[in-house]
Structure 1
Amino acid sequence: MTMTREQAIRNYVEHLIGDDLANLLRHMNSYDGCFDDSVYYDMEEFNEFLSNHTPMEIAQMIFYGGDFNPNDEYFHFNAYGNLESANWGDVVAEAEDLEEDIINHLTHYYSGDTPWPDLDDLVYADDDALFNEDYEEVDEEEEDQ
């Protein structure tokens, strides 16, 4: 069975478990900022991230952000720049919701590396490249034989 580059990327990403998908999302965003609204930070970094804000600004960011619990493991800035908190399961769920967007970005726009060499090979391959089920590039002439 051979796959196009796009099919191979889709297949690879669809087989990632939630934790790996969340880590891929974080890795991609650190390269090009493609998913800024979906980046979560460790709650231990809260003071550092907000050190340039007044207590009133922080209170407003929490109030208008919606759901914020300082006992959660992570926080992020929503699309409006307000604060929301989450636990790892929430982070994974958001990454799973963005699976199609991740695949699209890897296929059409992304030019960085990923946490996995096999996926890197797929991302960097020519658009017309073909791959086998082990994500190894195959020569079209070999496939015809």
Structure 2
Amino acid sequence: MTTMTREQAIRSYVEQLSRSELENLLQCMNFYDGSFEESTYYDMDSFDEFMSNYTPSEIARMIHFGEFNPNDDYFRFDAYGNLESFDWQEISDEAESLESDIIDHLVNYYDGDTPWADLDYMVDSDDTAIFNEDFEEVDEDDDDDDDE
């Protein structure tokens, strides 16, 4: 039986996610603790409602100094408060580029929920926990008993 440390199991689990699942995980983590605040995206369909507290001149300034195309599917605020827009491919690419940061955060800092119960269990487990290839925790003592 192949076994993995908690960190190896989390890494393996996340590396097996599809691009859309990775994006879903990134957004879930960000909504929980703001760990990836720069990767918060909003659906373009909610733009009018979302921007209702801003004056037209404020919105014009945010668009002028940002990189915004109303034909894209998503938008966010950059570090300066300007608007940026993205299509799904760009968001997916960003999530993929953050994969190692996502794993590091899950292993070392995160204590919230994820979209998957198996991953939640690994994240919540003790650092010394050992997992099998099915991401189930195994008791090392049981393996020693089998060898006798």
Superposition TM-score tier, normalisation by shorter sequence: over 0.9
1:1-145 mapped onto 2 (5 Å cutoff): 1-65=2-66, 67-144=67-144, 145=147
AA of the residue aligned to 1:115: P
| 1:105 alignment partner AA | H
RMSD: 0.9
Name the aligned partner's letter for residue 137 of structure 1. Answer: E
Q: Deviations over 1:66-111 (max 9, x none)?
A: x211011100111222110011111111100110110011001100
Instruction: Report the AA paired with residue 91 of structure 2.
Output: V
Amino acid at match of 1:41: Y
State the alpha-carbon separation in 2 of the partners of residues 42 and 130 from structure 1.
40
Unaligned runs of 5+ in 2: none
Tell me the secondary structure at the aligned position of residue 10 of structure 2.
helix
CA distance in structure 2 between the partners assigned to 1:62 and 1:112 by the alignment: 34
String of CA shifts for 1:48-82, please: whole Å, max 9, x gaps: 221111111111111111x2110111001112221
Deviation, 1:134, is 0.2
* Structure 1 residue ranges without an equivalent (≥5): none
Deviation, structure 1 residue 119: 0.4
CA offset digits 1:34-60 (Å, max 9, x no partner)? 111101110011112211111111111
In 2, the alpha carbon distance for the partners of 1:42 and 1:9 equals 29
CA distance in 2, matches of 1:109, 1:63: 37
Bigger radius of gyration, 1 or 2? 2
Identical-pair percentage: 63
**1:16 aligns to what SS in structure 2?**
coil
Aligned AA for 1:82? N
